[in-house]
């Protein structure tokens, strides 16, 4: 298959160029179809240009629209991160907006430690958080 080292290196270089071209083509198509400012007709014309004349189409696309590719990718990543954070917040917080028993007890404990409430009040808040009726304490 390979007669000498030169033909192997040439084949390796050709494979590298093909792989790099293929990756660039994926990035360009991804950018083209993610962009909301380009109309359907524009996307169709760019796609035909990239399919019929792939190397020339890729170079022209990079010259004409390449400056905004990183801005569009950054905007999409920021939007995806905001959606993910909103989803995590919606799943992490209780549906009815109430705090959990653990959070109520921790809040009451911090009030007790700061001296804002007495031990009896802490016991009552803890019992309420756990859903139990506060037992009357003998004074």
Q: For residue range 37-51, list pLDDT tens digits in order.
A: 899 999 999 999 999
Could you write out the DSSP letters of every residue in 93-107? S-TTSPPPHHHHHHH
Q: Which residue has the tokens 């990756």?
A: 23
| Span 57-72, average pLDDT | 91
CA–CA distance, 139 with 125 (Å, rounded to integer): 18
> How much is the pTM?
0.56
DSSP labels, 37-60: SS-HHHHHHHHHHHHHSHHHHHHH
Quick one: pLDDT band at residue 80, thresholds 50, 70, 90?
very high
User: Can you tell me the mean pLDDT for 85-114?
Assistant: 81
Structure tokens at 131: 């859903």
CA distance 137 to 77: 57
Residues written for the chain? 139
User: Could you report the per-residue pLDDT of 111-136, keeping only the tens digit for each?
Assistant: 899 988 899 999 998 888 888 644 55
Residue 36 to residue 38: CA distance in whole angstroms: 6
Residue 113's φ and ψ, nearest 5 degrees, are -65, -30
């Amino acid at each position: 298959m390979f007669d000498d080292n030169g033909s192997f290196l040439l084949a390796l270089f050709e494979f590298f160029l093909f792989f790099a071209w293929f990756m660039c083509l994926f990035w360009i198509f991804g950018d083209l179809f993610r962009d909301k400012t380009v109309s359907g007709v524009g996307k169709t014309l760019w796609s035909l240009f990239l399919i019929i004349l792939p190397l020339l189409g890729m170079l022209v696309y990079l010259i004409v629209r390449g400056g905004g590719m990183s801005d569009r990718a950054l905007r999409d990543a920021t939007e995806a991160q905001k959606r993910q954070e909103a989803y995590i917040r919606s799943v992490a917080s209780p549906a009815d907006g109430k705090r959990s028993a653990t959070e109520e007890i921790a809040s009451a404990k911090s009030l007790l430690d700061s001296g804002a409430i007495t031990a009896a009040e802490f016991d009552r808040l803890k019992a309420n958080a756990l859903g139990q009726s506060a037992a009357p304490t003998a004074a």
